[in-house]
Structure 1
Amino acid sequence: MEPTRSDRGPWDRGVLWLVISGKRLRIAGVVVGVVLAVMGTLTVAGVLPRRPADPMYFLLSSLLGGNLTLITVVISINQLVLSRELGSPGELRNRMEDAMEFRTDAEATAEWYVSPVRPGAFLLDLHESLCDQAEALDEAVADHGNERVTDRVENIATSVRQDVREVGAELDGSDGEEFTAIVATLGTNHAEQLEKLDRFLVEFRDDLSATERDLVDSIATHLLYVDVARNYFRTVYVERELSFLSRVILYVGVPAELVVAVALAMYVGPEVVPPLAFALFVPVAVAAGFAPLAVLFSFVLRLAWVAERNAAVIPFTALESEQP
């Protein structure tokens, strides 16, 4: 069962919030808050020194140098990924023409006049058209003389209807953004459905009418278009998320470096800071030093989840990647 469904327990919903649905900055804030609470508790308990000491100096020095490396590496990786967006006019035109050709083909297959431009609406309408084709095939073979044909089609149609219900439940009333579309289609396994259609055609092609064979071909084409669309939306999502991550790392990293630098200056400068103020400031400085890492943790956690759960592309499947 896919992890985004509503029948999960409190623990699974908590994991779902942490990995998928939770706001990334909110999760980073929770991590920083935990670090601040732990450091404050250790300071009050006397485990951490309340006056300048070598262990805390080394910790703050490591945070200062580590954050500089972290910020540089993240921005470099982001620029490497986003460099694929650069290109000559010919390359950019070819990419746009490919996208328009895919949209035109999807409109022709789904018999749309104009397809939706929002990712969620596009995938939802494509699934609904897929469901219509499956139900049409189910009705076409309802009175078929071969009971095996009827049973196989009913099995395929039931699987498709279940997918459409789950996708519709996820996308209904949503913002229709790329990540919403990715999550909504995670529980679907169109590779298995495509395999069932292929086996069905190989076994019963001579028992089907031309109309019924056309419906089977239309269902297979719909499944391919759904997989192409969700993988394209995944690519767009990853690029946007990496861009946003780079900005947040800079927004958080520069002030964090300043706070940690001030804390280090307190260690090497004259002892003019009262012990109480020093004891209160050091946990804040350590928490600030962990802030860039917390931001990276929250974003990469979801990016890695998206990559892992969407690694397989039709006609192949990796069942473990469909599981939480």
Structure 2
Amino acid sequence: MQALIVGSVERVAMSPSETDETLESFGANVGEQSSVLAGFREWFVVEGDRVAVAVLLSGVILALLVVLRWLGIISFTNPNSVTRVASGMIAGTFSLVTLVVSVNQLILSQEFSAAGRARDRLEGVIDFRRKVATTAMVPASPATPTRILELLVESIRHDAADLADAVENSDDEVREPITRYTNAVQKRTGRVDEVLEEGEFGSFTAISAAINYDEAWHLHVGTHLRGEYGDELSPTASERLDELIDSLKLFGVAREQLKTTYLQRELTRFSQLTIYWGVPSILSAILIGLLYGDFAGPSVSVAVLPFITTGLIIVGLSPLSLLVSYILRTATVTRRTASVGPMVPQKDPDEGPFHVEYGEDS
């Protein structure tokens, strides 16, 4: 497979599926069904509603406490132990609220800017939208970020089709790898377009589709093919390949903009929910202390005391569940988009069809 792409003299026969897989992408397969376990993990980490994930985590904690009490490992009869737990919950909740306030201040600091900086940001956005409109051949780029991504995906797919048509009469050594590459690009962008049409910016569908489309790998392949076969391509084919590469670059910029805007909204929403959930959490911890505060023992029946205490503990730990659910998504999104452009840090240096040596082009 390496000889098929890199070398123009020595060629190794590989199966079409294996070659297509290498040319297609190094990322996840957008829109393809995976195993139930992998699907649940993806939902739990990034795709699921964060409040639902937090509620699920609270339910798991509740089930764990019930099982541990049923096995006799824990109990709620010692007032000193329970009140110490309540004190720790109060301190932890205040620390969490302080952390959230700091994150919120960090987000707000990015929104405050002088007139000159605000003008530069505005000019940058306008220039980018102008390039999108020119690439997609529309009067003006849409206002919604999801629709901008859809236009760029359509532009990439059309550029790939035009490139395939342009190399149709070329030699087999040039036409075969480029056709496989363009077929893979059209296939992947078709899946992304289907996912984008079903989502909206308020949901995670759009950002998930943008992340899972590995345009960095397609950009890397296109750049390598241009350097490898640039002298053998016709002027039309060379121009079409450049247009495809430019569209892939614009998609990468649009994805970064969408990711930044989405994470700002996500962290702001997390700050609001933490305040909403933090007040009941502190009140529940205070109630636990008051339940065991009487010198004569707990102020409620011993038969119902474990259930009441367990419920209050779950409410007290709810901000922690919320924190875990949001950090899982934001950290995963940031990790999957850590690099910009044709850089794939998670890929092994020895993998892939493009093995090059110093001075090979000379």
TM-score (norm 1): 0.91
Decide whether the 8 Å contact of 1:238 with 1:303 is kept in 2. yes
Q: In structure 2, what residue type is equivalent to 1:29?
A: V
Decide whether the 8 Å contact of 1:3 with 1:16 is kept in 2. no
- 1:106 aligned residue: 132
Structure 1 residues 178 and 292, CA, compared in 2 at 3 Å: closer, same or farther?
closer
Q: Does 1:25 align with 2:25?
A: no
User: Which one of the candidate residues 329, 334, 337 is aligned to 1:307?
Assistant: 334
Deviation track 1:133-184 (CA, whole Å, cap 9, x = no partner) reads 111111112112x222211320221121122122022112222447422211
Q: What secondary structure is seen at the aligned counterpart in 1 of 2:344?
A: coil
Give aligned-pair identity as a percent: 28
Shift of 1:26: 1.0
| Structure 2, gaps ≥5 residues long | 1-26, 349-362
Q: What secondary structure is seen at the aligned counterpart in 2 of 1:276?
A: coil
Shift of 1:4: 5.5
Structure 2 distance, partners of 1:235, 1:278, is: 47
Q: Matched residue pairs, number?
A: 320
- 2:149 aligned residue: 123
Deviation track 1:272-307 (CA, whole Å, cap 9, x = no partner) reads 332234222111121112111000011111111100
Decide whether the 8 Å contact of 1:2 with 1:186 is kept in 2. no
Decide whether the 8 Å contact of 2:54 with 2:325 is kept in 1. yes
* Consecutive aligned runs of 4 or more in structure 1 exceeding 6 Å deviation: none
Structure 1 distance, partners of 2:141, 2:231, is: 35
Structure 1 residues 178 and 251, CA, compared in 2 at 3 Å: closer, same or farther?
closer
Q: After alignment, is 190-199 or 37-46 more displaced? A: 37-46
Structure 2 distance, partners of 1:208, 1:11, is: 46
- 2:319 aligned residue: 292
Q: After alignment, is 65-74 or 195-204 more displaced? A: 195-204
Q: Does 1:211 align with 2:247?
A: no
Shift of 1:196: 2.8
Q: After alignment, is 24-33 or 115-124 more displaced? A: 115-124
Q: After alignment, is 100-109 or 264-273 more displaced? A: 264-273
C-alpha RMSD of the superposition: 2.1
Shift of 1:66: 1.0
- 1:220 aligned residue: 245
Q: In structure 1, what residue type is equivalent to 2:308?
A: F
- 1:281 aligned residue: 308
Shift of 1:8: 0.7
- 1:261 aligned residue: 286
Structure 1 residues 48 and 207, CA, compared in 2 at 3 Å: closer, same or farther?
closer
Decide whether the 8 Å contact of 2:28 with 2:212 is kept in 1. yes
Deviation track 1:172-225 (CA, whole Å, cap 9, x = no partner) reads 222244742221133333333223333333333333333222211111100100
Q: What secondary structure is seen at the aligned counterpart in 2 of 1:113?
A: coil
Structure 2 distance, partners of 1:107, 1:191, is: 22
Q: Does 1:54 align with 2:80?
A: yes
- 2:36 aligned residue: 10
Structure 1 distance, partners of 2:215, 2:205, is: 18
Decide whether the 8 Å contact of 2:277 with 2:318 is kept in 1. yes
User: Which one of the candidate residues 272, 275, 286 is aligned to 1:250?
Assistant: 275
Higher helix proportion: 1
User: Which one of the candidate residues 62, 65, 68 is aligned to 1:39?
Assistant: 65
Q: In structure 1, what residue type is equivalent to 2:43?
A: W
Decide whether the 8 Å contact of 1:118 with 1:177 is kept in 2. no
- 1:76 aligned residue: 102
Deviation track 1:305-324 (CA, whole Å, cap 9, x = no partner) reads 10011111103222459xxx
Decide whether the 8 Å contact of 2:30 with 2:192 is kept in 1. no
Structure 2 distance, partners of 1:50, 1:30, is: 24
- 1:318 aligned residue: 345
Deviation track 1:31-70 (CA, whole Å, cap 9, x = no partner) reads 1122223323444555433434322222221111111111
Q: In structure 2, what residue type is equivalent to 1:166?
A: R
Shift of 1:119: 1.9
Structure 2 distance, partners of 1:179, 1:238, is: 11
Q: What secondary structure is seen at the aligned counterpart in 2 of 1:317?
A: coil
Q: In structure 1, what residue type is equivalent to 2:310?
A: P
| Structure 1, gaps ≥5 residues long | none
TM-score (norm 2): 0.82
